[in-house]
């Protein structure tokens, strides 16, 4: 009945396993999912997981890496606008992306590795950095290392606000948009006048 044994291109099989794993991990914590389950869900022998990912944890990290990334920016068209307008449009697009794609992305704001395991932290950091780059580009600002650093924390803020809005309903969409837009501007703006000290 079931096709006996199917030989796939490595990249394809790898992806298939990741997809099945994401499904399982989407409603059960890491250690509550056994490799046997993962293998079954992917329709594959247990050993193959180790063959492709070496480790159970490594498969998990692969799933994370995919889930955390924001969709590529199809954000175009608006060139003559001011920075304020661009910021608002960008955040508007991000909010849209959050509703459709970002189930997992939004969830990535919580806490994870309070503990050493900086694996996960590194993955999220990388994703936040990309997001910062995306926003900078959309604002028409240079891809400066300092500016990126300045913008990175707003990724955490954005995710947290989206969670309040989507999962708890304590924000309206407009409120979220207003606050995030203002925040983004605040964080890039401060940097543009770095020589502003109050104390003598």
Partner DNA sequence: ATGCTTGTTGACAGTGTGCCAATAGGCCGC
Partner DNA sequence: GCGGCCTATTGGCACACTGTCAACAAGCAT
Residues in touch with a copy of itself (CB under 8 A): 25-32, 56-57, 63-64, 67-68, 104, 107-117, 119-121, 123-125, 146, 149-150, 152-157, 159-161, 163-164, 168, 170-171, 174-175, 178-179, 182-183, 186-187, 190, 197
Question: Considering the complex, what minimum distance in angstroms separates the CB of residue 50 from DNA?
Answer: 3
Query: Which of residues 18, 21, 44, 127 is near DNA by CB under 7 A?
Result: 44
Question: Considering the complex, what minimum distance in angstroms separates the CB of residue 20 from DNA?
Answer: 12
CA quadruple 158, 159, 160, 166: dihedral sign: positive
Query: Which of residues 22, 46, 65, 81 is near DNA by CB under 7 A?
Result: 46
| Alpha helices, DSSP H, located in the chain | 10-25, 35-42, 46-53, 56-68, 83-100, 103-107, 118-139, 145-163, 173-192
- Site size for DNA, by CB under 7 A? 24
Residues 6+ apart with CB under 8 A from 198: none
Question: Considering the complex, what minimum distance in angstroms separates the CB of residue 17 from DNA?
Answer: 9
In the list DNA, a copy of itself, none, the entry touching 46 (Cβ below 5 to 8 angstroms by class) is: DNA
Question: Considering the complex, what minimum distance in angstroms separates the CB of residue 122 from DNA?
Answer: 19
| Helix axes of 118-139 and 173-192: crossing angle, nearest 10 degrees | 80
Phi-psi region of 138 (alpha: psi -120 to 50; beta: other; left: phi over 0): alpha
Nearest 5°: the CA angle 100, 140, 108 is: 35
Question: Considering the complex, what minimum distance in angstroms separates the CB of residue 2 from a copy of itself?
Answer: 28
Please, which residue, 14 or 130, has the CB nearer to DNA?
14
Q: What are the φ and ψ backbone dihedral angles of 85, each rounded to 5 degrees?
A: -65, -45
In the list a copy of itself, DNA, none, the entry touching 134 (Cβ below 5 to 8 angstroms by class) is: none
Please choose, from the candidates 9, 12, 38, the residue with its C-alpha nearest in 3D space to the C-alpha of residue 26.
38
In the list DNA, a copy of itself, none, the entry touching 55 (Cβ below 5 to 8 angstroms by class) is: DNA
Residues near DNA (CB under 7 A): 4-10, 13, 33-36, 44-51, 54-57
């Amino acid at each position: 009945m079931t096709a006996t044994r199917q030989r796939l291109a490595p990249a394809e099989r790898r992806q298939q396993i990741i997809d099945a794993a994401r499904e399982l991990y989407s409603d059960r914590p890491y250690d509550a999912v056994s490799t046997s389950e993962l293998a079954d869900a992917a329709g594959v022998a247990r050993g193959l997981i180790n063959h492709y990912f070496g480790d159970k944890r490594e498969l998990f990290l692969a799933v994370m890496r995919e889930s955390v990334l924001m969709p590529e920016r199809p954000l175009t068209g608006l060139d003559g606008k001011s920075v304020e307008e661009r910021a608002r449009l960008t955040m508007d697009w991000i909010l849209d992306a959050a509703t459709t794609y970002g189930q997992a992305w939004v969830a990535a704001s919580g806490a994870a590795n309070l503990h050493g395991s900086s694996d996960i932290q590194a993955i999220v950091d990388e994703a936040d950095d990309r997001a910062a780059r995306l926003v900078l580009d959309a604002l028409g600002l240079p891809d400066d290392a300092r500016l990126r650093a300045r913008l990175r924390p707003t990724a955490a803020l954005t995710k947290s606000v989206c969670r309040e809005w989507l999962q708890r309903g304590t924000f309206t969409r407009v409120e979220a948009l207003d606050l995030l837009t203002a925040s983004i501007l605040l964080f890039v703006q401060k940097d543009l006048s770095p020589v502003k000290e109050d104390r003598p």
